[in-house]
């Protein structure tokens, strides 16, 4: 059966970008194969984070996963650090990705750009190794992500090919990334030439934002000169971003979204986008709050980690054996 795996880092506040690019679609995979969705808490340590904030973000993310429609009967939902095989496989795989290729990763370059060498942790540099471990541990065939994570899946493929060439074709399963046709890269509302990200409060819509804050943020989104509504990422990045948000939430094409807004003025256009986002997020927030208050996610995470660990252990053993580590139980 096809294996599908993805994860989100519990850093900062989840954004509408995370929702549209990843979270919203995870549930659709439940009918297509065996799904593993995890909370990448070890990855959250790659930049400084307050321990209590990390713990709360982890609870939030568990509740968000369930609120998004993931069914724990169908999807294995777990916390990365509760499955020790991630770190164990990481310790092996780190020897097969190299300094040169790791230093060329866009995410590393962006995140470390304003940091002194003396403040950049090894984990930030070696991030793709742990991410590759996450993916290959479950023999994942498909990895649904937003555009910014594609490079990390590609380096995972390089690693898999390298390992399989050296240790045999069946050592690791080669994964493919899957990005949405519409909404793989949602841009900041205040500067639509940069990606919406958890660390940019100005141009972001956070999944926990109160409805009125969401409305305000969208109403004050940067639009472009002119008054016509059409899709042109180069010359109309603001309008194009709002059209993308609309199309992905309504699950229609960009062309259909453009046709819908023919003859609209910017003000009414934004009003309708805001209402669309609110119609999507308001019930989602309600479900999230109920789940968080009930504490039901804890049992889901415990069961998920147990199941994940059983599967992960098999892959770990296979790799340990392939590279020549002696199994004293045999
Ligand atoms: P993270 O936590 O940064 O983001 C979670 C998911 O949201 C997508 N995303 C976006 N999509 C569209 N527009 C945006 N503005 C936007 N911002 C973020 C991301 O592409 C991602 O799919 N390294 C991963 C977590 C991870 C992982 C994995 C994912 C760790 N191990 C294994 C897949 C498989 C990350 O930091 O995502």
Q: What is the pLDDT of residue 315?
A: 98
Contact call for residues 20 and 183 (beta carbons, < 8 A): yes
Instruction: Give the pLDDT mean for 257-274.
Output: 97
Ligand 1 nearest-atom number relative to CA 152: 23
Contact call for residues 190 and 221 (beta carbons, < 8 A): yes
What does the alpha-carbon distance between residue 47 and residue 277 come to, in Å, rounded to a whole number? Answer: 30
Instruction: Give the pLDDT mean for 230-251.
Output: 97
Polymer length of the chain: 330
Instruction: Give the pLDDT mean for 107-117.
Output: 93
pLDDT in tens, 178-219: 999 999 999 999 999 999 987 767 789 999 999 999 999 999
Q: Is 206 strand, coil or helix?
A: strand
Q: Is the CB of 3 inside a 6 Å radius of any atom of ligand 1?
A: no
- Is the confidence at residue 319, as pLDDT, over 90? yes
**Ligand 1: centre distance to CA 21 (Å):** 8
- Is the confidence at residue 244, as pLDDT, over 90? yes
**Ligand 1: centre distance to CA 187 (Å):** 14
Contact call for residues 219 and 25 (beta carbons, < 8 A): no
Q: Is the CB of 18 inside a 6 Å radius of any atom of ligand 1?
A: yes
Give CA angle at 14 (18, 177), nearest 5°: 25
Q: Is the CB of 134 inside a 6 Å radius of any atom of ligand 1?
A: yes
Q: Is 143 strand, coil or helix?
A: strand
Pocket test for ligand 1, best of 14, 148, 183 (most atoms within 8 A of CB): 148
Instruction: Give the pLDDT mean for 274-288.
Output: 98
- Identify the weakest region by mean pLDDT among 68-77, 189-198, 236-245, 297-306: 189-198
Measuring CA to CA, which residue among 6, 14, 75, 63 is closest to residue 38?
6
What does the alpha-carbon distance between residue 25 and residue 305 come to, in Å, rounded to a whole number? Answer: 22
Q: What count of Cα atoms within 13 Å lies in the side-chain half-sphere of residue 102?
A: 20
What does the alpha-carbon distance between residue 110 and residue 46 come to, in Å, rounded to a whole number? Answer: 13
**Ligand 1: centre distance to CA 56 (Å):** 19
Neighbour-count burial of 109, counting CB atoms closer than 10 A to its CB (0-12 exposed, 13-18 middle, 19+ buried): exposed
Q: Is the CB of 155 inside a 6 Å radius of any atom of ligand 1?
A: no
Place of tokens 């496989």: 89
- Is the confidence at residue 101, as pLDDT, over 90? yes
Q: Ligand 1, atom 37: nearest CA belongs to which residue? A: 8
Measuring CA to CA, which residue among 75, 40, 31 is closest to residue 61?
40
Q: Enumerate residues 6+ apart whose C-beta is below 8 A from 108.
A: 102, 124, 125, 127
Query: Both tokens of residue 120?
Result: 């950049």
Q: Alpha-carbon Rg of the chain, whole angstroms? A: 21
Measuring CA to CA, which residue among 130, 147, 169 is closest to residue 38?
130
Long-range contacts (CB closer than 8 Å, 24 or more residues apart) made by 258-263: 258/229, 258/230, 258/231, 261/229, 262/229
Name the pLDDT band for 330 (thresholds 50, 70, 90): confident
- Is the confidence at residue 329, as pLDDT, over 90? no
What does the alpha-carbon distance between residue 18 and residue 186 come to, in Å, rounded to a whole number? Answer: 8
Neighbour-count burial of 230, counting CB atoms closer than 10 A to its CB (0-12 exposed, 13-18 middle, 19+ buried): middle
- Is the confidence at residue 72, as pLDDT, over 80? yes
Query: pTM here?
Result: 0.97
What average pLDDT does the chain have?
96
Place of tokens 């070696």: 126
Place of tokens 């992960």: 312
The residues that bridge with 236 in the sheet, in sequence order, are: 232
Instruction: Give the pLDDT mean for 74-86.
Output: 98
Contact call for residues 325 and 169 (beta carbons, < 8 A): no
| DSSP string over 159-220 | HHHHHHHHH-TTSSPPPEEE--SS-SSPBPSS-TTSB--TT-SSS--BTTS-HHHHHHHHHT
Instruction: Give the pLDDT mean for 273-287.
Output: 98
- Is the confidence at residue 12, as pLDDT, over 90? no
- Identify the weakest region by mean pLDDT among 87-101, 141-155, 196-210: 196-210
């Amino acid at each position: 059966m096809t294996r599908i795996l993805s994860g989100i880092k519990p850093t900062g506040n989840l954004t509408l970008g995370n929702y549209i690019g990843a979270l919203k679609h995870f549930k659709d995979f439940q009918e297509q194969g065996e799904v593993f969705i995890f909370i990448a808490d070890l990855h959250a340590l790659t930049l400084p984070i307050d321990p209590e904030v990390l713990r709360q973000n982890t609870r939030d993310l568990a509740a968000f996963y369930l609120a998004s429609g993931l069914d724990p009967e169908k999807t294995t939902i777990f916390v990365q650090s509760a499955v020790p095989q991630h770190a164990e496989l990481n310790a092996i795989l780190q020897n097969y990705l190299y300094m040169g290729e790791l230093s060329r990763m866009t995410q590393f370059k962006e995140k470390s750009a304003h940091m002194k060498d003396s403040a950049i942790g090894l984990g930030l540099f070696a991030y793709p190794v742990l991410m590759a471990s996450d993916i290959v541990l479950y023999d994942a065939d498909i990895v649904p992500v937003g555009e910014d994570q594609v490079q990390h899946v590609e380096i995972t493929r390089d690693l898999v090919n390298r390992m399989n060439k050296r240790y045999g074709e069946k050592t690791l399963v080669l994964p493919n990334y899957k990005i949405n046709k519409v909404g793989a890269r949602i841009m900041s509302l205040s500067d639509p030439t940069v990606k919406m990200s958890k660390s940019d409060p100005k141009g972001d819509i956070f999944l926990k934002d109160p409805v009125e804050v969401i409305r305000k943020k969208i109403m004050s989104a940067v639009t472009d000169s002119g008054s016509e509504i059409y899709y042109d990422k180069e010359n109309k990045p603001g309008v194009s971003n709002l059209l993308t948000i609309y199309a992905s939430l309504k699950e229609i094409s960009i062309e259909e979204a453009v046709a819908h807004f023919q003859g609209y003025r910017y003000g009414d256009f934004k009003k309708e986008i805001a209402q669309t986002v609110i119609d999507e997020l308001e019930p989602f927030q309600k479900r999230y709050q109920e789940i968080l208050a009930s504490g039901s996610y804890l049992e889901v995470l415990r069961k998920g980690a147990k199941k994940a660990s059983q599967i992960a252990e098999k892959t770990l053993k296979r790799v340990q054996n392939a590279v020549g580590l002696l199994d004293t139980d045999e």
